[in-house]
Amino acid sequence: MNSGYEVAVIGGGSAGLCAALAAARRGTKTVLIERSTKLGGMGTQALVHTFCGLYEPDLSKPPRLANAGLPTQIEREMRRLTHQTEPTRMGKLYVLLQDPSHFDALSKELVEAEENLTVLFENTCEDIRQCHHFEIKTNNHCFTANSVVDTSADAVVAGFLKATRLKSDTPQKSAYIFSLQNVAEEAREESFKMRLALDLVRAVQAGILPPEILGAASRASTLEGEIYFTIDLDEPDHGPALATDLVAFLKAHSPPFQNVPAPIFPDVPGVRETYRWLGKHVLTQEDLIEGKSFEDTIAKAAWPIELRETIKGPRFTYFKNPRSSDIPLRALMSEEIPGIFFAGRCLSATHEALASLRVMGTCFATGQAAGLAASLHARGVTPTAELVKGEIEHL
Ligand SMILES: Cc1cc2nc3c(=O)[nH]c(=O)nc-3n(C[C@H](O)[C@H](O)[C@H](O)COP(=O)(O)OP(=O)(O)OC[C@H]3O[C@@H](n4cnc5c(N)ncnc54)[C@H](O)[C@@H]3O)c2cc1C
């Protein structure tokens, strides 16, 4: 196949899904390239099972969505599919529990409804060259596009085009997530979680389990009898072995887990941080915490800085004011190459700011803005925040 598209979106995770939907809904001929068989990225392939960053960070009021357009639509659909009448309160914030298989199905339903959108599954973007247009090569196809949105989470497009990539010396830890079914109800209670944590400490002290198990945390899902475990990893490839050890321990020593069938393991381990783009603005921790306002705001960040640099659990820094902070369009636009936009985990931010911006609720919002900006550029219109915000109202 050798076709011409107006917008090409690389990577169909939370950000890429929304970028592609937004561009297609605006009427631009769009292609979404995804290397796996699923949409939703970490939210399906790695079994990340909670949408964070959807709601304003203000518990003194009922939950309010921070971003209009696709984040609001996806929240509504996921609540319907998982029968949640209300979001869940988690510490100082609201979150929405999500089910990875529903997320994949919902994503596919949404893209199938768009006549201007072609999705190429099992296509890995292997190269992009810049000529008059962008020439894009996957393992199966070659085609051109006027604008490109990089939502690969790893800024792969910057690598192909030799643009500057940002990377931290101390990236956030990867993690391995799996789920167990048929777990007795008592294991879903908070008091049980505390007891289990103590049991794991004792098992590590007795040499029954390896010390990395101390990076494990559990969370009940929206399905009866299902619990997810997340193990933060010092060594990214230790996940399957640690998970297998933990399941064997639970079955042998913890009555609520005695009758669990084989666990559901993820397609890929969970990766929290790799490369990011250098944009026209690099968002910082200070921008978010101080609630700095930007004239070109196109999305809102509603999750605190959540750093996971060790396996001992998260370190939160909350925004000073109980409201979401501005994300400027310039953090989604390349400083070096016109026609390139980015969103989700590979947007232009410092290591600390990314620890807020990477959550899926925010990825939906930056994705839709990048898709709209790319769609405007593809038609020869200079994207501005005013135009992008106007388009969000029509999504
Ligand atoms: C362990 C863990 C726990 C987390 N917990 C939460 C949580 O509780 N709540 C929350 O909201 N967020 C959480 N996050 C963060 C969140 O899941 C991710 O940051 C978010 O999913 C990133 O979205 P994205 O669209 O930028 O990238 P991804 O979801 O990673 O999607 C990128 C997509 O691009 C595809 N791709 C990559 N390269 C190519 C290529 N060359 N060609 C074609 N396709 C390509 C991939 O297959 C993938 O589908 C967690 C992350 C991890 C790892």
pLDDT in tens, 76-91: 999 999 999 999 999 9
Judged against a pLDDT cut of 70, whether residue 288 lies above it is answered with yes
Q: 214: domain CATH number?
A: 3.30.310
How close is the Cα of 37 to the center of ligand 1, in Å? 14
Domain contains 34:
yes
190 and 146 together in one domain: no
124 and 189 together in one domain: no
Query: Any residues with Cβ below 6 Å from ligand 1, and which?
Result: 10-16, 33-36, 41-43, 46, 48, 50-53, 124-125, 151-154, 156, 175, 177, 230, 270-272, 344-345, 358-361, 363
202 and 308 together in one domain: no
How close is the Cα of 323 to the center of ligand 1, in Å? 25
Terminal alpha carbon distance of the chain: 30
Distance CA 356, CA 332 (A): 16
Domain contains 268:
no
Contact of 25 with 151, CB cutoff 8 Å? no
For residue 14, the ligand 1 atom closest to its alpha carbon is: 25
Query: What are the residues whose beta carbons fall under 8 Å from the beta carbon of 113, sequence distance 6 or more?
Result: none
The confidence score (pLDDT) of residue 210 equals 94
Pocket test of ligand 1: the residue of 38, 48, 51, 179 to mutate, having most ligand atoms within 8 Å of its CB, is 48
Domain contains 363:
yes
218 and 141 together in one domain: no
pTM metric for this prediction: 0.97
Q: Which domain range does residue 278 map to?
A: 2-168+274-392
101 and 188 together in one domain: no
Domain contains 265:
no
Pocket test of ligand 1: the residue of 108, 152, 232 to mutate, having most ligand atoms within 8 Å of its CB, is 152
Number of domains the chain contains: 2
Lowest model confidence (mean pLDDT) among 55-69, 77-91, 181-195, 341-355: 181-195
Domain contains 267:
no
Judged against a pLDDT cut of 50, whether residue 283 lies above it is answered with yes
Contact of 51 with 360, CB cutoff 8 Å? yes
* Residue whose C-alpha is closest to residue 288's, from 257, 312, 323, 241: 323
